[in-house]
Amino acid sequence: MPTHEFKVEMTCSGCSNAVTRILTKKLGEGAKFDVNLDDKSVTIDSDLSMEELKEMLEKSGKAVTYIGVK
């Protein structure tokens, strides 16, 4: 399963918690992802397309940039 990396404009733990909550809700309990506030990165192991994942992250209202497959 590919690991997709995104940059998400998160500036406090409230931001990163919100992104974590969205991904848990959308991807389900067993999902493998990592939200890192320090380097504003989000990595997601998923067979979903980059577009689908990006749209999911953008629901947070934050600016999202796709970095690539790790």
Q: How far is the CB of 16 from a second copy (least distance, A)?
A: 10
Nearest to a second copy of 14, 69 (CB atom): 14
- Shortest Cβ 5–a second copy spacing (Å): 19
Q: How far apart are CA 37 and CA 30, in angstroms?
A: 21
Rounded CA separation 62/12 (Å): 12
Q: For the segment 26-55, give every residue that binds a second copy (CB under 8 A).
A: none
| Between 31 and 70, CB nearer to a second copy | 31
Contacting residue, 3, 20, 41, 43, with a second copy by CB under 8 A: 20
Strands in the chain per DSSP E: 3-8, 32-36, 41-45, 64-69
**What 3-state DSSP class applies to 62?**
coil
